[in-house]
Amino acid sequence: MTDRDPFAEGERAARDNIPAEANPYSDGSDEHALWAAGHEKGAGAMEARKSEGS
């Protein structure tokens, strides 16, 4: 059994164009916050690439 990494899951969700509202963790939990932070980081990186024209 592997440990889940909510931050990495959030980053992956952003890359897969899954909206932040789809966070699978309970609101207010540490996992929810980590997933949201990962999603924000992933979405920000994607926006930066788009604005650079790549």
Q: What is the pLDDT of residues 7-53, one digit of tens each?
A: 999 999 999 999 999 999 999 999 999 999 999 999 988 777 777 76
Confidence category of residue 3, pLDDT binned at 50, 70, 90 = confident
* Triad 18, 22, 28: Cα angle to 5°: 135
Give the residue from 15, 45, 34 showing the smallest Cα distance to 23. Answer: 34
- In whole angstroms, what is the distance from residue 4 CA to residue 38 CA? 13
* Triad 13, 30, 35: Cα angle to 5°: 10
